[in-house]
Amino acid sequence: MSLISPAARDALQAWCASLKAIDGKPETTIEAYRHDVLAFLEFITEHFGDATGIAPMTRIKPTDMRAWMASERRRGVGARSLARELSAVKNFFRWLAEREGFDPTAVLATRSPKFQKKLPRPLAKDAAKAMINTVELTPREDWIAARDAAVVTLLYGCGLRISEALSLTWADHPLGETLRITGKGNKTRIVPVLPVARDAVARYAALQPYAMEPDDPLFRGVRGGALGPRQVARAMEIARMQLGLPSSATPHAMRHSFATHLLEAGGDLRTIQELLGHASLSTTQAYTAVDTARLMEVYSKAHPRGHG
């Protein structure tokens, strides 16, 4: 830490302490953040050729940020890692600017490098249907077979996240034509429920052996507790191996397939965004991972005056 000034070192330690006390971040995350910001501060100190406390940090310009990013690239840092480093640096400067009273815009406005997010591959329509059927064939007990089929049908038929499907309670049964789902960030959305999904859940509900209260989880494990995501993933793993499908055929891929198949059928991106509960349209575009020409075709159909 010899490169940076005592004042900068103290600021870094105080920020790390605030991450723990206020944000409750785990030690491993704080240590990764500390490492990233320390490396940035060392670069800036050397870049400016002085270590006179906090002052150099308050006069960072966009050109200095570009110089740092170029230096990281030369060191062989990939786009994903650089995006993570920049996120830590921005977090630190947001905190420091509030404490020291300077404008951190030059740092905060720095664009994160683009990198390809790893997306689950969608299953073909016949593979998605085969997955539902095969999941139902594996368990020995009828009610467990019906349960697994019902959960996977909800993932594919309603585009639910696994956590959303497993958060349904007995009070949600019998399913109506729509379902109110509380997803990420406590956002509520309404999703239509296909008859096939309603029937699958009704079949499971009729077969399951437990006395249910309204607040109880709709989907139960073998021993009566709430069904966990790992059990669903395991059921799909067994079915996947039987069908010879790739390891990318996971519960999340069923939701992904729902979006892709809707888009292929000419669905409106905005509608699909709402059904999936995505905060931004760009997430839906990345998620459906279809080519730009296809997106523009759908966009043109949905918004005939969109280009004018």
Q: Please tell me the predicted confidence (pLDDT) of residue 160.
A: 86
Q: Is 181 helix (H, G, I), strand (E, B) or coil?
A: strand
What is the domain count for the chain?
Answer: 2
pTM of the entire structure? 0.55
To the query of whether residue 161 is one of the catalytic residues in this protein, the response is yes
Q: Please tell me the predicted confidence (pLDDT) of residue 156.
A: 85
By CB atoms closer than 10 A (0-12, 13-18, 19+), residue 159 is buried
Q: Domain boundary residue among 39, 73, 108?
A: 108
Q: Can you read off the two tokens belonging to residue 226?
A: 């709430």
What is the per-residue pLDDT across 231-256, written as a single tens digit (0 to 9) for each?
A: 999 999 999 888 888 887 888 888 77
Q: Could you give the CA distance from residue 164 to residue 153 in angstroms, rounded to a whole number?
A: 13
Q: Could you give the CA distance from residue 82 to residue 111 in angstroms, rounded to a whole number?
A: 11
To the query of whether residue 184 is one of the catalytic residues in this protein, the response is yes
* Half-sphere exposure at residue 247, Cβ-oriented, CA atoms within 13 angstroms: 0
Judge if 132 and 279 occupy the same domain: yes
Judge if 177 and 271 occupy the same domain: yes
Angle (nearest 5°) at CA 297 between 292 and 302? 125
Q: Can you read off the two tokens belonging to residue 213?
A: 């209260």
Among 203, 240, 255, 256, the active-site one is 255
What is the per-residue pLDDT across 76-91, written as a single tens digit (0 to 9) for each?
A: 888 888 888 999 999 9
| 271 in any annotated domain | yes
The parent domain of residue 201 ranges over 125-302
Judge if 73 and 133 occupy the same domain: no
Q: Domain boundary residue among 52, 75, 108?
A: 108
Q: Please tell me the predicted confidence (pLDDT) of residue 303.
A: 57
Judge if 145 and 41 occupy the same domain: no
For residue 212, give the CATH number of its domain: 1.10.443.10
Q: Please tell me the predicted confidence (pLDDT) of residue 306.
A: 45
| 266 in any annotated domain | yes
Q: Please tell me the predicted confidence (pLDDT) of residue 201.
A: 95
Q: Could you give the CA distance from residue 261 to residue 73 in angstroms, rounded to a whole number?
A: 38
Among 161, 203, 240, 261, the active-site one is 161
Judge if 94 and 157 occupy the same domain: no
Q: Is 191 helix (H, G, I), strand (E, B) or coil?
A: strand
To the query of whether residue 255 is one of the catalytic residues in this protein, the response is yes
For residue 15, give the CATH number of its domain: 1.10.150.130
Q: Please tell me the predicted confidence (pLDDT) of residue 265.
A: 67
Among 61, 184, 187, 270, the active-site one is 184
Judge if 157 and 55 occupy the same domain: no
Helices (H), the chain: 6-21, 27-48, 55-58, 62-74, 79-100, 105-108, 125-137, 142-158, 162-166, 195-207, 229-243, 251-264, 269-276, 281-288, 292-302
By CB atoms closer than 10 A (0-12, 13-18, 19+), residue 180 is exposed
How far is C-alpha 203 from the geometric centre of its chain's CA atoms? 31
| 276 in any annotated domain | yes
| 308 in any annotated domain | no
To the query of whether residue 307 is one of the catalytic residues in this protein, the response is no
Q: Domain boundary residue among 48, 79, 108?
A: 108
Q: Can you read off the two tokens belonging to residue 164?
A: 């959303």
Query: Rounded to whole angstroms, what are the CA distances from 115 to 63, 84, 89?
Result: 22, 11, 18
Q: Please tell me the predicted confidence (pLDDT) of residue 308.
A: 40
Extract the residue ranges of the chain whose pLDDT is less than 70.
Answer: 1-2, 23, 50-52, 115-121, 261-273, 275, 277-308
Q: Please tell me the predicted confidence (pLDDT) of residue 146.
A: 94
Q: Please tell me the predicted confidence (pLDDT) of residue 150.
A: 94
Judge if 135 and 257 occupy the same domain: yes
